[in-house]
Structure 1
Amino acid sequence: MKHGSETNAEVLAEEKEILSEIKKEESLVRQEGVAIKRMERNMLVFMILGLVLAVGAIGGGIYWYITSQRIYVDMAYVQAPLINLSPVHGGTLQDVMVNIGDTVAANTVVAQVGNELVKTNIAGLIVNTNTQLGTIINPGQTVVTMIDPTQLRVVGQVDENKGLSAIRVGDPVVFTVDAFGSKEYHGIVDEISPTSRQSDVVFNISDQRPVEQFDVKVRYDVRAYPELKNGMSAKLWIYKSS
Protein backbone atom coordinates (compact mmCIF):
# COMPACT_ATOMS: atom_id res chain seq x y z
CA MET A 1 0.00 0.00 0.00
CA LYS A 2 2.78 2.38 0.83
CA HIS A 3 4.44 1.61 -2.46
CA GLY A 4 1.29 2.66 -4.33
CA SER A 5 1.00 5.87 -2.32
CA GLU A 6 4.59 6.79 -3.05
CA THR A 7 4.02 6.19 -6.76
CA ASN A 8 0.97 8.48 -6.78
CA ALA A 9 2.91 11.16 -4.93
CA GLU A 10 5.73 10.99 -7.45
CA VAL A 11 3.26 11.29 -10.32
CA LEU A 12 1.62 14.32 -8.71
CA ALA A 13 5.02 15.90 -8.12
CA GLU A 14 5.99 15.37 -11.75
CA GLU A 15 2.69 16.84 -12.92
CA LYS A 16 3.22 19.90 -10.72
CA GLU A 17 6.73 20.29 -12.06
CA ILE A 18 5.48 19.99 -15.64
CA LEU A 19 2.71 22.54 -14.97
CA SER A 20 5.26 24.85 -13.39
CA GLU A 21 7.50 24.57 -16.44
CA ILE A 22 4.54 25.23 -18.73
CA LYS A 23 3.61 28.34 -16.74
CA LYS A 24 7.21 29.54 -16.88
CA GLU A 25 7.26 29.06 -20.64
CA GLU A 26 3.92 30.84 -20.99
CA SER A 27 5.25 33.69 -18.86
CA LEU A 28 8.37 33.92 -21.02
CA VAL A 29 6.24 33.90 -24.16
CA ARG A 30 4.06 36.69 -22.76
CA GLN A 31 7.13 38.70 -21.78
CA GLU A 32 8.62 38.22 -25.22
CA GLY A 33 5.30 39.26 -26.77
CA VAL A 34 5.20 42.39 -24.63
CA ALA A 35 8.81 43.17 -25.52
CA ILE A 36 8.10 42.68 -29.22
CA LYS A 37 5.01 44.90 -29.04
CA ARG A 38 6.99 47.53 -27.14
CA MET A 39 9.74 47.36 -29.75
CA GLU A 40 7.22 47.60 -32.58
CA ARG A 41 5.54 50.56 -30.88
CA ASN A 42 8.88 52.32 -30.38
CA MET A 43 9.79 51.67 -34.01
CA LEU A 44 6.44 53.11 -35.10
CA VAL A 45 6.97 56.18 -32.91
CA PHE A 46 10.46 56.71 -34.34
CA MET A 47 9.14 56.26 -37.88
CA ILE A 48 6.35 58.80 -37.30
CA LEU A 49 8.79 61.21 -35.65
CA GLY A 50 11.20 60.82 -38.56
CA LEU A 51 8.39 61.40 -41.04
CA VAL A 52 7.25 64.52 -39.17
CA LEU A 53 10.81 65.86 -39.10
CA ALA A 54 11.27 65.10 -42.79
CA VAL A 55 7.99 66.80 -43.71
CA GLY A 56 8.91 69.75 -41.49
CA ALA A 57 12.32 70.03 -43.13
CA ILE A 58 10.79 69.84 -46.60
CA GLY A 59 8.09 72.35 -45.66
CA GLY A 60 10.67 74.67 -44.13
CA GLY A 61 12.81 74.39 -47.23
CA ILE A 62 9.86 75.14 -49.49
CA TYR A 63 8.85 78.11 -47.31
CA TRP A 64 12.41 79.44 -47.31
CA TYR A 65 12.65 79.06 -51.08
CA ILE A 66 9.33 80.79 -51.70
CA THR A 67 10.06 83.67 -49.32
CA SER A 68 13.56 84.08 -50.75
CA GLN A 69 12.06 84.44 -54.22
CA ARG A 70 9.64 87.23 -53.36
CA ILE A 71 9.69 90.68 -51.79
CA TYR A 72 6.88 91.70 -49.46
CA VAL A 73 5.69 95.32 -49.50
CA ASP A 74 3.21 96.20 -46.77
CA MET A 75 2.65 99.83 -47.76
CA ALA A 76 1.05 100.35 -51.15
CA TYR A 77 -1.87 102.25 -52.65
CA VAL A 78 -4.03 102.13 -55.77
CA GLN A 79 -3.23 105.39 -57.54
CA ALA A 80 -3.34 107.19 -60.86
CA PRO A 81 -1.41 110.36 -61.78
CA LEU A 82 -3.31 113.49 -60.84
CA ILE A 83 -4.39 115.79 -63.67
CA ASN A 84 -4.77 119.39 -62.50
CA LEU A 85 -7.10 121.64 -64.49
CA SER A 86 -6.47 125.37 -64.25
CA PRO A 87 -7.18 128.59 -66.19
CA VAL A 88 -4.66 130.19 -68.49
CA HIS A 89 -5.72 133.61 -67.24
CA GLY A 90 -6.58 134.57 -63.69
CA GLY A 91 -9.93 135.83 -62.49
CA THR A 92 -12.83 135.20 -60.18
CA LEU A 93 -14.07 131.63 -59.78
CA GLN A 94 -17.56 131.98 -61.19
CA ASP A 95 -18.74 128.37 -61.26
CA VAL A 96 -17.69 124.73 -60.90
CA MET A 97 -19.83 122.38 -62.99
CA VAL A 98 -18.63 119.01 -61.66
CA ASN A 99 -18.55 117.14 -58.36
CA ILE A 100 -16.11 114.68 -56.85
CA GLY A 101 -16.79 111.23 -58.27
CA ASP A 102 -18.18 112.46 -61.59
CA THR A 103 -17.04 110.74 -64.76
CA VAL A 104 -16.39 113.25 -67.52
CA ALA A 105 -15.65 113.05 -71.23
CA ALA A 106 -12.89 114.87 -73.07
CA ASN A 107 -13.53 118.59 -73.74
CA THR A 108 -16.03 118.83 -70.87
CA VAL A 109 -16.36 122.28 -69.26
CA VAL A 110 -15.64 121.81 -65.56
CA ALA A 111 -15.33 125.41 -64.30
CA GLN A 112 -15.51 129.07 -65.24
CA VAL A 113 -12.85 131.53 -64.09
CA GLY A 114 -13.70 135.08 -65.14
CA ASN A 115 -14.77 134.68 -68.75
CA GLU A 116 -12.59 131.61 -69.32
CA LEU A 117 -14.05 128.12 -69.48
CA VAL A 118 -11.78 125.43 -68.02
CA LYS A 119 -12.10 122.15 -69.95
CA THR A 120 -10.83 118.60 -69.72
CA ASN A 121 -8.34 117.36 -72.29
CA ILE A 122 -9.18 113.68 -71.83
CA ALA A 123 -11.93 111.59 -70.27
CA GLY A 124 -11.54 110.79 -66.61
CA LEU A 125 -12.78 110.83 -63.03
CA ILE A 126 -13.09 113.96 -60.89
CA VAL A 127 -11.29 113.54 -57.54
CA ASN A 128 -11.21 117.10 -56.18
CA THR A 129 -12.78 120.52 -56.78
CA ASN A 130 -12.40 124.06 -55.52
CA THR A 131 -15.86 125.01 -54.25
CA GLN A 132 -15.01 128.50 -52.99
CA LEU A 133 -16.93 130.49 -55.57
CA GLY A 134 -16.06 134.16 -55.75
CA THR A 135 -12.39 133.66 -54.84
CA ILE A 136 -9.61 135.00 -57.04
CA ILE A 137 -7.84 132.28 -59.02
CA ASN A 138 -4.34 132.93 -60.33
CA PRO A 139 -3.18 131.75 -63.77
CA GLY A 140 -2.24 128.07 -63.52
CA GLN A 141 -3.92 127.62 -60.13
CA THR A 142 -5.80 124.32 -59.88
CA VAL A 143 -9.59 124.50 -59.73
CA VAL A 144 -10.43 120.86 -60.54
CA THR A 145 -8.36 117.69 -60.19
CA MET A 146 -9.07 114.49 -62.11
CA ILE A 147 -7.48 111.16 -62.96
CA ASP A 148 -7.52 108.84 -65.93
CA PRO A 149 -8.82 105.52 -64.46
CA THR A 150 -7.11 103.54 -67.22
CA GLN A 151 -3.81 104.65 -65.69
CA LEU A 152 -4.49 103.22 -62.23
CA ARG A 153 -1.49 101.44 -60.74
CA VAL A 154 -0.65 99.89 -57.40
CA VAL A 155 2.23 101.95 -56.05
CA GLY A 156 4.35 100.30 -53.37
CA GLN A 157 6.95 102.01 -51.20
CA VAL A 158 10.07 99.83 -50.98
CA ASP A 159 12.99 100.48 -48.63
CA GLU A 160 16.31 100.57 -50.46
CA ASN A 161 17.73 97.83 -48.20
CA LYS A 162 14.79 95.42 -48.49
CA GLY A 163 15.22 93.90 -51.92
CA LEU A 164 14.89 96.97 -54.12
CA SER A 165 17.98 96.05 -56.15
CA ALA A 166 16.45 92.66 -57.04
CA ILE A 167 13.23 94.10 -58.50
CA ARG A 168 12.97 94.29 -62.29
CA VAL A 169 10.38 95.75 -64.65
CA GLY A 170 8.18 92.85 -65.75
CA ASP A 171 8.43 90.91 -62.47
CA PRO A 172 5.10 89.23 -61.64
CA VAL A 173 3.20 90.58 -58.65
CA VAL A 174 0.43 89.25 -56.43
CA PHE A 175 -1.37 91.87 -54.36
CA THR A 176 -4.28 92.19 -51.98
CA VAL A 177 -6.42 95.24 -51.30
CA ASP A 178 -7.50 95.90 -47.72
CA ALA A 179 -11.08 96.63 -48.77
CA PHE A 180 -11.42 93.11 -50.20
CA GLY A 181 -9.65 91.04 -47.56
CA SER A 182 -7.51 88.14 -48.78
CA LYS A 183 -8.71 88.21 -52.40
CA GLU A 184 -5.65 88.02 -54.66
CA TYR A 185 -5.03 90.22 -57.69
CA HIS A 186 -2.28 89.92 -60.28
CA GLY A 187 -0.09 92.40 -62.10
CA ILE A 188 3.48 93.11 -63.18
CA VAL A 189 6.09 95.67 -62.20
CA ASP A 190 5.63 98.56 -64.62
CA GLU A 191 8.05 101.15 -63.30
CA ILE A 192 10.70 101.61 -60.60
CA SER A 193 11.18 105.19 -59.51
CA PRO A 194 14.69 106.47 -60.37
CA THR A 195 14.66 108.75 -57.32
CA SER A 196 13.68 108.20 -53.70
CA ARG A 197 10.75 109.60 -51.78
CA GLN A 198 13.01 112.10 -50.00
CA SER A 199 10.15 113.61 -48.05
CA ASP A 200 9.46 110.24 -46.39
CA VAL A 201 12.88 109.34 -45.01
CA VAL A 202 12.92 106.43 -42.54
CA PHE A 203 15.77 106.23 -40.00
CA ASN A 204 17.49 103.02 -39.03
CA ILE A 205 17.76 103.11 -35.22
CA SER A 206 20.97 101.06 -35.14
CA ASP A 207 23.15 103.62 -36.90
CA GLN A 208 20.84 106.61 -37.51
CA ARG A 209 21.48 106.46 -41.24
CA PRO A 210 18.48 107.41 -43.40
CA VAL A 211 16.83 104.57 -45.31
CA GLU A 212 15.40 105.88 -48.56
CA GLN A 213 12.15 104.60 -50.02
CA PHE A 214 11.41 104.17 -53.71
CA ASP A 215 8.08 103.88 -55.51
CA VAL A 216 7.49 100.65 -57.42
CA LYS A 217 4.49 100.85 -59.74
CA VAL A 218 2.51 97.73 -60.60
CA ARG A 219 0.33 97.61 -63.70
CA TYR A 220 -2.80 95.45 -63.74
CA ASP A 221 -5.80 94.93 -66.01
CA VAL A 222 -8.17 97.69 -64.87
CA ARG A 223 -11.00 96.14 -66.89
CA ALA A 224 -10.65 92.86 -64.99
CA TYR A 225 -10.66 94.59 -61.59
CA PRO A 226 -13.18 97.45 -61.84
CA GLU A 227 -13.78 97.34 -58.08
CA LEU A 228 -10.33 98.81 -57.36
CA LYS A 229 -10.60 102.54 -56.67
CA ASN A 230 -8.12 105.37 -56.48
CA GLY A 231 -6.68 105.68 -52.97
CA MET A 232 -7.33 102.13 -51.74
CA SER A 233 -4.54 100.63 -49.61
CA ALA A 234 -2.85 97.39 -50.65
CA LYS A 235 -0.06 94.90 -49.95
CA LEU A 236 2.32 93.47 -52.57
CA TRP A 237 4.33 90.29 -53.10
CA ILE A 238 6.85 90.87 -55.88
CA TYR A 239 8.28 87.64 -57.33
CA LYS A 240 11.87 87.98 -58.48
CA SER A 241 12.36 86.78 -62.03
CA SER A 242 16.11 86.31 -61.69
Structure 2
Amino acid sequence: MIEKRKKLIYLIITVMVVAFASIGVYYWYKNAYFVSTEDAKVMGDLVSVSPQISGKLLELNVEEGDTVIKDQILGRQGVSNPQETNIDPSVFRAPISGIVIKKQGTVGEIVSPGQTIAMLIDPNKLYITANIEETKLANIKQGQKVDITIDQFSNRTFSGKVKYVGQASNSTFALLPTSTSGTFTKVIQKIPVKIEFDKSDNTLLPGTNAIVNIHIK
Protein backbone atom coordinates (compact mmCIF):
# COMPACT_ATOMS: atom_id res chain seq x y z
CA MET A 1 0.00 0.00 0.00
CA ILE A 2 2.83 2.38 0.90
CA GLU A 3 4.64 1.52 -2.33
CA LYS A 4 1.53 2.34 -4.36
CA ARG A 5 1.23 5.72 -2.65
CA LYS A 6 4.87 6.48 -3.36
CA LYS A 7 4.43 5.61 -7.03
CA LEU A 8 1.32 7.79 -7.21
CA ILE A 9 3.17 10.71 -5.60
CA TYR A 10 6.13 10.28 -7.98
CA LEU A 11 3.72 10.16 -10.93
CA ILE A 12 1.97 13.36 -9.83
CA ILE A 13 5.30 15.14 -9.33
CA THR A 14 6.49 13.97 -12.75
CA VAL A 15 3.32 15.19 -14.43
CA MET A 16 3.61 18.58 -12.69
CA VAL A 17 7.27 18.96 -13.71
CA VAL A 18 6.45 18.11 -17.32
CA ALA A 19 3.50 20.53 -17.32
CA PHE A 20 5.52 23.42 -15.88
CA ALA A 21 8.38 22.67 -18.27
CA SER A 22 6.00 22.67 -21.23
CA ILE A 23 4.52 25.99 -20.16
CA GLY A 24 8.01 27.45 -19.73
CA VAL A 25 9.11 26.25 -23.16
CA TYR A 26 5.92 27.65 -24.73
CA TYR A 27 6.42 31.12 -23.27
CA TRP A 28 10.13 31.08 -24.11
CA TYR A 29 9.30 30.21 -27.71
CA LYS A 30 6.60 32.89 -27.93
CA ASN A 31 8.90 35.60 -26.52
CA ALA A 32 11.91 34.52 -28.57
CA TYR A 33 10.19 34.22 -31.94
CA PHE A 34 7.19 36.58 -31.75
CA VAL A 35 6.10 39.98 -30.54
CA SER A 36 2.42 39.67 -29.70
CA THR A 37 -0.29 42.05 -28.59
CA GLU A 38 -4.06 42.12 -28.15
CA ASP A 39 -4.01 45.92 -28.31
CA ALA A 40 -4.78 46.02 -32.02
CA LYS A 41 -7.71 47.00 -34.21
CA VAL A 42 -8.87 46.82 -37.81
CA MET A 43 -8.58 50.32 -39.23
CA GLY A 44 -9.05 52.21 -42.48
CA ASP A 45 -8.56 55.74 -43.77
CA LEU A 46 -11.75 57.70 -43.12
CA VAL A 47 -12.72 60.17 -45.85
CA SER A 48 -15.30 62.87 -45.18
CA VAL A 49 -17.83 64.25 -47.65
CA SER A 50 -18.25 68.02 -47.29
CA PRO A 51 -20.13 70.72 -49.23
CA GLN A 52 -18.24 73.39 -51.18
CA ILE A 53 -20.59 76.23 -50.26
CA SER A 54 -23.07 77.20 -47.57
CA GLY A 55 -26.76 76.48 -48.10
CA LYS A 56 -29.75 74.35 -47.18
CA LEU A 57 -29.31 70.63 -47.69
CA LEU A 58 -32.01 69.68 -50.21
CA GLU A 59 -31.09 66.06 -50.95
CA LEU A 60 -28.94 63.34 -49.40
CA ASN A 61 -29.26 60.22 -51.48
CA VAL A 62 -27.23 57.72 -49.43
CA GLU A 63 -27.70 55.65 -46.30
CA GLU A 64 -25.20 54.02 -43.98
CA GLY A 65 -23.93 50.82 -45.57
CA ASP A 66 -24.40 52.01 -49.16
CA THR A 67 -21.61 51.40 -51.66
CA VAL A 68 -20.63 54.43 -53.76
CA ILE A 69 -18.19 55.05 -56.57
CA LYS A 70 -15.80 57.96 -56.95
CA ASP A 71 -17.44 61.20 -58.16
CA GLN A 72 -20.94 59.83 -57.62
CA ILE A 73 -23.40 62.58 -56.66
CA LEU A 74 -24.42 62.02 -53.05
CA GLY A 75 -26.54 65.09 -52.40
CA ARG A 76 -27.57 68.57 -53.38
CA GLN A 77 -28.00 71.86 -51.59
CA GLY A 78 -29.67 75.15 -52.33
CA VAL A 79 -27.59 78.00 -53.76
CA SER A 80 -28.57 81.59 -53.11
CA ASN A 81 -26.23 83.16 -55.70
CA PRO A 82 -25.60 80.65 -58.50
CA GLN A 83 -22.56 81.26 -60.67
CA GLU A 84 -22.11 80.28 -64.31
CA THR A 85 -19.31 77.71 -64.20
CA ASN A 86 -18.70 74.25 -65.60
CA ILE A 87 -18.74 72.86 -62.06
CA ASP A 88 -22.01 72.83 -60.17
CA PRO A 89 -21.14 73.83 -56.58
CA SER A 90 -24.60 72.85 -55.35
CA VAL A 91 -23.85 69.12 -55.57
CA PHE A 92 -21.34 67.16 -53.55
CA ARG A 93 -19.73 63.97 -54.74
CA ALA A 94 -17.98 60.93 -53.31
CA PRO A 95 -14.22 61.65 -53.15
CA ILE A 96 -13.45 57.90 -53.27
CA SER A 97 -15.10 54.60 -54.08
CA GLY A 98 -16.14 52.90 -50.87
CA ILE A 99 -18.84 52.37 -48.27
CA VAL A 100 -20.80 54.97 -46.32
CA ILE A 101 -20.10 54.12 -42.68
CA LYS A 102 -21.61 57.25 -41.13
CA LYS A 103 -24.31 59.64 -42.30
CA GLN A 104 -24.27 62.93 -40.43
CA GLY A 105 -26.25 65.32 -42.59
CA THR A 106 -30.02 65.84 -42.40
CA VAL A 107 -32.14 67.18 -45.24
CA GLY A 108 -33.38 70.67 -44.42
CA GLU A 109 -30.44 71.78 -42.27
CA ILE A 110 -28.05 74.56 -43.22
CA VAL A 111 -24.60 73.20 -44.06
CA SER A 112 -21.32 74.98 -44.66
CA PRO A 113 -17.95 74.21 -46.26
CA GLY A 114 -15.86 71.83 -44.17
CA GLN A 115 -18.89 70.36 -42.38
CA THR A 116 -18.97 66.57 -42.57
CA ILE A 117 -22.08 65.24 -44.27
CA ALA A 118 -20.98 61.60 -44.50
CA MET A 119 -17.94 59.42 -43.81
CA LEU A 120 -16.60 56.94 -46.35
CA ILE A 121 -14.07 54.14 -46.14
CA ASP A 122 -12.53 51.89 -48.79
CA PRO A 123 -13.13 48.30 -47.55
CA ASN A 124 -10.37 47.01 -49.83
CA LYS A 125 -7.73 49.09 -48.09
CA LEU A 126 -8.20 48.11 -44.47
CA TYR A 127 -5.20 47.49 -42.24
CA ILE A 128 -4.28 46.72 -38.65
CA THR A 129 -2.99 49.25 -36.16
CA ALA A 130 -1.18 47.44 -33.35
CA ASN A 131 0.15 49.26 -30.29
CA ILE A 132 3.51 47.74 -29.34
CA GLU A 133 5.33 48.37 -26.05
CA GLU A 134 8.45 50.47 -26.44
CA THR A 135 10.57 47.77 -24.77
CA LYS A 136 9.77 45.39 -27.64
CA LEU A 137 10.03 47.88 -30.48
CA ALA A 138 13.70 47.17 -31.28
CA ASN A 139 12.68 43.77 -32.65
CA ILE A 140 10.05 45.17 -35.05
CA LYS A 141 11.09 45.83 -38.64
CA GLN A 142 9.30 46.65 -41.86
CA GLY A 143 8.38 43.60 -43.91
CA GLN A 144 8.13 41.11 -41.04
CA LYS A 145 5.41 38.46 -41.37
CA VAL A 146 2.39 38.80 -39.10
CA ASP A 147 -0.28 36.29 -38.04
CA ILE A 148 -3.59 38.05 -37.38
CA THR A 149 -6.70 36.90 -35.56
CA ILE A 150 -9.83 39.06 -35.76
CA ASP A 151 -12.41 38.79 -32.98
CA GLN A 152 -15.13 39.13 -35.61
CA PHE A 153 -13.86 35.88 -37.22
CA SER A 154 -12.18 34.05 -34.33
CA ASN A 155 -12.03 30.77 -36.29
CA ARG A 156 -9.96 32.30 -39.12
CA THR A 157 -6.33 33.38 -39.29
CA PHE A 158 -5.24 36.22 -41.56
CA SER A 159 -1.71 37.00 -42.68
CA GLY A 160 0.02 40.30 -43.23
CA LYS A 161 3.27 42.23 -43.09
CA VAL A 162 4.59 45.14 -41.06
CA LYS A 163 4.18 48.19 -43.27
CA TYR A 164 5.23 51.03 -40.99
CA VAL A 165 6.56 51.54 -37.48
CA GLY A 166 5.37 54.76 -35.86
CA GLN A 167 7.85 57.50 -35.08
CA ALA A 168 6.15 58.67 -31.89
CA SER A 169 4.25 57.13 -28.99
CA ASN A 170 0.47 57.38 -28.72
CA SER A 171 0.83 59.66 -25.69
CA THR A 172 2.57 62.27 -27.86
CA PHE A 173 -0.78 63.08 -29.44
CA ALA A 174 -2.82 62.97 -26.23
CA LEU A 175 -4.85 66.09 -25.48
CA LEU A 176 -4.00 65.94 -21.77
CA PRO A 177 -0.47 65.72 -20.32
CA THR A 178 0.50 62.33 -18.89
CA SER A 179 2.09 63.83 -15.76
CA THR A 180 2.51 67.06 -13.84
CA SER A 181 5.57 68.66 -12.28
CA GLY A 182 4.51 67.47 -8.84
CA THR A 183 4.01 63.80 -9.58
CA PHE A 184 5.51 61.29 -11.96
CA THR A 185 4.79 57.63 -12.57
CA LYS A 186 6.80 55.89 -15.24
CA VAL A 187 4.51 54.13 -17.70
CA ILE A 188 5.61 51.94 -20.58
CA GLN A 189 4.70 53.77 -23.76
CA LYS A 190 3.13 52.15 -26.79
CA ILE A 191 4.04 52.82 -30.42
CA PRO A 192 1.54 52.32 -33.26
CA VAL A 193 2.61 49.78 -35.88
CA LYS A 194 0.73 49.58 -39.19
CA ILE A 195 0.19 46.08 -40.58
CA GLU A 196 -1.11 45.45 -44.09
CA PHE A 197 -3.13 42.38 -45.00
CA ASP A 198 -1.66 40.06 -47.62
CA LYS A 199 -5.15 39.75 -49.10
CA SER A 200 -7.90 42.31 -48.74
CA ASP A 201 -11.19 41.18 -47.20
CA ASN A 202 -14.08 43.61 -47.42
CA THR A 203 -16.12 41.61 -44.90
CA LEU A 204 -13.97 43.01 -42.07
CA LEU A 205 -15.40 45.86 -40.02
CA PRO A 206 -13.27 48.89 -39.09
CA GLY A 207 -12.75 49.26 -35.35
CA THR A 208 -13.04 45.56 -34.50
CA ASN A 209 -10.46 44.00 -32.19
CA ALA A 210 -7.52 41.93 -33.37
CA ILE A 211 -4.64 39.89 -31.98
CA VAL A 212 -1.32 40.01 -33.82
CA ASN A 213 1.79 37.83 -33.64
CA ILE A 214 4.73 39.45 -35.40
CA HIS A 215 7.47 37.03 -36.50
CA ILE A 216 10.83 38.41 -35.33
CA LYS A 217 12.88 35.29 -36.14
Partners of 1:213 and 1:53 lie apart in 2 by 36
- Residue equivalent to 1:142: 116
The within-5 A match list for 1:37-76 is 57=21, 60-61=24-25, 63-76=27-40
Q: Hey, what's the Cα distance between the residues in 1 that align with 2:177 and 2:196?
A: 26
More helix by share: 1
For the aligned residue pairs, the C-alpha RMSD in angstroms reads 3.1
Distance 1:75 1:200, change over 3 A: farther
1:229 maps to a residue whose letter is L
Summarize the alignment of residues 38-187 of structure 1 with structure 2, pairs less than 5 Å apart.
Answer: 57=21, 60-61=24-25, 63-115=27-79, 116-161=90-135, 163-187=136-160
User: Where do 5+ consecutive residues of structure 1 fail to align?
Assistant: 1-37
Compute the TM-score of the two structures, normalised by the length of structure 2. Answer: 0.75
What stretches of structure 2 of length at least 5 have no aligned partner?
80-89
Give deviations 1:103-128, integer Å, cap 9, x for gaps: 11111111223341110132111111
The answer (yes or no) to whether the contact 2:105–2:116 under 8 Å persists in 1 is no
Cα deviation code 1:126-151 (max 9, x no counterpart) = 11112322222221211111011121
Query: Would you say 1:217 and 2:190 are equivalent positions?
Result: no
CA displacement at 1:201 relative to structure 2: 8.3
Task: Please say if residues 175 and 186 of structure 1, whose CA atoms lie closer than 8 Å, have aligned partners that are also in contact.
Answer: yes
8 Å contact from structure 1 (residues 203, 209) kept in 2: no
Which entry has the higher C-alpha Rg, 1 or 2? Answer: 1
Q: What is the total number of aligned residue pairs between the two structures? A: 196
Q: Distance in 1 between matches of 2:148 and 2:160?
A: 8
Change (3 A) 1:123 1:98: same
Percent of residue pairs identical: 25
Which region of structure 1 is more displaced relative to structure 2, 145-154 or 180-189? Answer: 180-189
Q: 1:141 to 1:174 in 2, by over 3 A?
A: same
CA contact under 8 A between 1:99 and 1:129: conserved in structure 2?
A: yes
The equivalent residue for 1:30 is none
Could you say which residue in structure 1 is the equivalent of 2:211?
235
Over 3 Å counting, the alpha-carbon distance change for 1:201 and 1:77 in structure 2 is: farther
